[in-house]
Every structure is written in structure tokens, then in C-alpha cells.
Structure 1
Amino acid sequence: MNPKLKLLADGQGGVYSRGQAADSGYTPGQIHDRIQDGRWERIRYGQYAEAVDLSHLAPWDQQGLKHRRLVHAVLNSMRPGTVAVSHQSALALHGVPLWGVDLSEVHLSRLDRHRGGRIAGVRHHRGKLTAADLALVGHLPVTTVPRALFEMACTSTFEAAVVSADAVRRHHPIAEPELQRLLDVTEFWPGSPTARSALDFSDPLSESVGESRLRVLMHTHGLPAPMLQVVFTDADGFVARVDFYFPSERTVVEFDGLGKYAGASSEALIQEKLREDRLRALGLQVVRITWADLQDPARLIATIRKAFARA
């Protein structure tokens, strides 16, 4: 990409229009060739971006990046001042993890008198936004993190809402006056009970999408509430900080995450084995959960209950 178009694209989330490419010196033939050979990818009609390899990213991060590009493509073709990015689209721009929500369409809240509804893959919302509800991400108008979280949580599942609420509480703490304001504003919104339940259940100590999903699953199946990020020591000092600890059941549950030990050295694997042995020496049961385990909730819960029984 030539420097002029790269500079422009960098300010637009990597996205640029056909017209902007032409203004930067690309002929129609050059544009066509770059699309055909895969150097450029079509994000939306008339909007493009350089192709990037996302294979190193977690699935939700891949989806988030693709959605952010789609948001920029939509806004790049709209008149400034008419909309603010909202709902999960705003959370994506704010960098909040998303899981289990529909990212196939861009969500916008109207700042003008335009009607709501779905048009060409864009969901237009009508709602009263105040200055307290609006922020900027780069040059794009968006709803604030707290407002966007409420918007998304009112239109999603409890699990999806908890995943984002945990991350918001961890990285974007909501001041009590703002929280109360939004609770009042959204009191009679469809889906507000789900949003409120998710916020009540959320915990900033839940450190990843996988941990949040596992916590919801354990709650849904009636397990006691675990303690999060508990530190254990023995006579030799620090042993571990564990993801979940059930004190009455003397059981530790660890979420291994996406490829946590993939490519790990033999030394790292030995250290992890020693860590687990030291936890067991403290009289603890240790259960390891992976992403694959989340696909079979009944078996996962049975495994944890068996550890409770052994303890």
C-alpha cells in the first residue's frame, strides 16, 4: 500500500473506500488486481482493507477485529454527525471482549430523526442519548463503555452479558453514580432483567472469556460459588494463584485456556506438574478444564462433583 493510502487507512481502522484508493493514485485495474489476488479484501460494498493473517488470534478476537473493520466501513460511507456506534459494535471498538453475540451486523444509534430498523446489514436504533452516553474512539462517535454494556446485555443471553460485564468491571470500572443512572434509564427496557442479573453476577476477578463462561456454567448447574484468584502457599513459600477455589469442598478448578501449554518447553511442563503436586500435597483436589470441556457441560460438572466427593 502506498504511503498516502496507508496513512488514511490507519486513521480509519485499516479501512478505505474505492474512491479514497483512487484519490491516492490507484488505477481501477490496480484496485481490481489487488482484490483478485487477495492482497485487499472487501469489507463492504466499495470499502476495502489489506488482508491480514488472524490465525494467531483467539476466535473471539478474530471476530472482534473483523467487526471493527466492518464498523469503520459502515461509518466511512455515512454522513458525519448522524449516528453513534452502539451496543456490541461500540464494545468492540472499546476493546471489550465479546462472546456469543451476533456480530454479523453493525449497531448504530441515531443522532438524527432517521427511523430505526435494519438496512443493508446495519441495525439502526432509536433512543435518547445524552452527552453522558457518548464518547469518541479515535474519530468515531460511540456510546460509552457502560452504556454500550447495558445496550448489549439487554439484547443478549446471560452468558454473553457476563463475559463482557466481567471484562468491563476488570478494565473499565463503572462509577456508582453512573451505574445507578443507567439502571434507572434502562429499568423498563426489554431484556433489562437479564442485564441486571449479569451485572450482579459479574466479577472483575474473572480474567478471561473462558473463566467467565466456566463460572456461568458452574452457577447454572447449581455448584456453590467459588472464590476467585486465591493464592496458596506451603512451607517453601508461594505455590500458586488458582482460578477457582471451593473451600468447603477443598477443590481447585483451573481453566487452562486456549492452547495454554501448546508448544511449551519440557521444563515448563515439569514446573506445572510440580505446582499441581504441591497443591495436592495441601490436601486439595485439582480439576483442569479446557475449551473442549465446555462443549459437554454435563460431563464437566460431573467431573467437578467427583472431585468434591473425593475431597
Structure 2
Amino acid sequence: MTSLDPSLRALAEAQHGLFTTKQAHRTGLSAVALVHAVRSEELLHPARGLYAVAELVDPTSPSRWHTDLSFGAGLLWDDATLSSTTAVLAHGVQVWGAGLSTVHVLRPIDRSIRVGPYRVRQWTGQPTAPTAVGAAVDLPTALAAHAMEQGVVQGVVSADHALHQGLVSFDDLQAAVEVVGGWRHGSRAVSMLSFANGLRESVGESRCSVILEMAGLVLTPQVEIRDHDGRLVGRVDFLVHGTNVIVEFDGRMKYDSGDPAVLWAEKRREDELRRLGYVVVRITWADLERPGAAAAKVRSAIAAA
């Protein structure tokens, strides 16, 4: 049972479950009533001037809550521009391993401020683009800032996804990185660019490649392997340059169904690769948590080959 005015609830439904103090007052909801609704857990109060209808949002889902709060930035400030990780998500690009408790916002102000979950920094003329949750810096700029803010591997995962989906070009990404290369943590964006490759098809492949390449191995992604008659045996995740060692990231997803036909087809494929003289190394999610072990696995295969 809700005590909210129907028009205010309808407005919230159209605004990712959110409304502002000003909007509440316009529908006759007083400051005292707002406090009462927060105490009764009918409303959430994520930031000064901003409320959320509890049953319309899900703070237990970091990505969804982050998206809702991203929309809220535009409710709080007409001149808000989403940036960094927030902008990457707003452009529909995959994010892995990034903290989502902070919403990154740019405004034409002279100092950085913190308002609840919002980290507001100075907008200095970065190029912008519209998104479904509000104005954001363009995707190349967002990806560079995301790598600076969250780290190299996190940056590569998102850059790979954006490149693979054709949402950004390598040249545009390079131009954005050149702008920030000399900034604090700009070296993270430079490193991200050196690893970025739009041929990788998953978070696991991106992480696997970065871990092994940081260890000094050179990988060629998505290589077609053919037999002596030119027949395609399969496309493998990576071939270690200058060797006959294949690296496959084993995310297990394609085996989850337990379909015997799928399992048998994969076994036959791997047997054919071995008959052609290739050594197949499988890297798992667990291996990615121990980068040294993953690299040792591949080096051991190279030595054996």
C-alpha cells in the first residue's frame, strides 16, 4: 500500500523509479511526509534532493542501481554529463571488475564535490553524446577514463567489447588515450590501448589474453586451423606466436547444458587439432585468479611441444 500521490508515482515510474524533492513538493508531499516515507522504507534517499520508490528499484543489483542513479544525475543537475565507468555503461558497453558504488558526473564547476553516490568533477570540454540515461562523454573518452579509474584489465575488457561490437574505432580510442596519456593514471589508459583487440569475444578471453601477454607471451586471437586439405577444423581462441601451442579459454558455458553431442563435438575437434601437431592448453576462470599459474601452464606446453 503506497501513500504516494498517483501522479508522483507515475512520474517516478518514468524516471527509473526516482524523483526529486522539488517534484515531490509540487505534488503536495511535504518534507515531513518524505522523512516519514523514508523511515517506513517506502522511499529510499540515495542523495540530497533525490528519492527512489523502494518497490521500483533494486539496490541489490549493482549494475541496475548504477544505471538508475545515472539517470538521477540529470534530475539533480541540468548540466550533468556522465563520465568514466558510468558513461561506459550508459553507452551499453560491458563492464567487469569495476566498483559501481560511485556514479561519475562532470559539471561546469570549479572544484570536485561528493553528493551521496555522485562524484562530481569539473567538465573541461570533453566531447559528449546522448544516451538512454542522459548526456555522457563520448565512448572513446569514457573508455580512456574508465581504464584510468578502474585499472588496465578492466579497461581492456570494456574496450574489447566496444571494439568487437563496432561501437568505437581503434583510431578514435587511440585519439582519446593520447589526450589523457600525460595525466595522473594516464599510463593505465596507454597500457589498456596496447592490449585492446576487437577480435576477442568475451570477458574471459580478454582477461586471459592480458594476463598471458603481460607475462611476455605473444598471442594471435581467433585463428582458423585447417587440415592438410584446407578443411576448417576449428577457430581457436589464441595461437601462441611462433609455436604450435593453442590456448583456449574454458568458460564452460557451452558445456553447461550437458548435451552429449556438444561434448562429443568438442572432443573430436580437440583430437583433430592434436593429430595436426597442435598442443592445446585450456585456461579456466580459476587460472585467471592466479596469473602466474596460467602463464606457467602455457610455458610448460611450449617447452613440451
Q: TM-score range by the shorter chain?
A: 0.7 to 0.9
Give matches, 1:77-116, under 5 Å. 78-81=76-79, 83-110=80-107, 112-113=108-109, 115-116=111-112
Aligned to 1:245: 239
The 5 A counterparts of 1:28-67 are 42=44, 44=46, 46-48=51-53, 50=56, 63-67=62-66
Which consecutive unaligned segments of at least 5 residues does structure 1 have?
Answer: 55-61
Partner Cα separation in structure 2 for residue 41 and residue 233 of structure 1? 61
Distance 1:173 1:96 in 2: 10
Quote how far apart the aligned CAs of 1:43 are.
8.0
Aligned residues: 290
Quickly say closer, same or farther: Cα 1:294–1:275, change in 2 above 3 A: same
Aligned to 1:71: 70
Q: In the TM superposition, what is the alpha-carbon distance from 1:295 to its structure 2 partner?
A: 1.5
Whether the 8 Å CA contact 1:249–1:308 is kept in 2: the answer is yes
Is the counterpart of residue 295 in structure 1 residue 289 in structure 2?
yes
Report if aligned partners of 1:85, 1:107 keep a CA contact under 8 Å in 2: yes
Could you tell me which residue of structure 2 aligns to residue 15 of structure 1?
Answer: 17
Greater CA deviation, 229-238 or 205-214? 229-238
Mean alpha-carbon deviation: is it higher for 229-238 or for 245-254?
229-238
Shift of 1:256: 2.0
**4+ aligned runs moved over 4 Å, structure 1:** 1-11, 18-24, 40-43, 51-54, 178-181
User: In the alignment, residue 164 of structure 2 is paired with which amino acid?
Assistant: R
Equivalents in 1 of 2:278, 2:62: separation in Å?
A: 38
| Pairing 1:1-311 to 2, within 5 Å after superposition | 11-12=14-15, 14-17=16-19, 42=44, 44=46, 46-48=51-53, 50=56, 63-76=62-75, 78-81=76-79, 83-110=80-107, 112-113=108-109, 115-130=111-126, 133-138=127-132, 140-171=134-165, 172-174=167-169, 176=171, 178-179=172-173, 181-223=175-217, 225-234=218-227, 235=229, 237-257=231-251, 259-311=253-305
- Distance in 1, matches of 2:70 and 2:284, equals 32
Structure 1 position 286, deviation (Å): 0.9
In structure 2, the gaps of 5 or more residues are: 28-32
Distance 1:258 1:15 in 2: 37
Alpha-carbon distance in 2 for matches of 1:216, 1:210:
10
Equivalent position amino acid for 1:96 in 2: V
Q: CA RMSD in A?
A: 3.5
TM-score by length of 2: 0.80
| 1:243, distance to aligned residue in structure 2 (A) | 0.6
TM-score by length of 1: 0.79
Q: Aligned AA for 1:189?
A: W
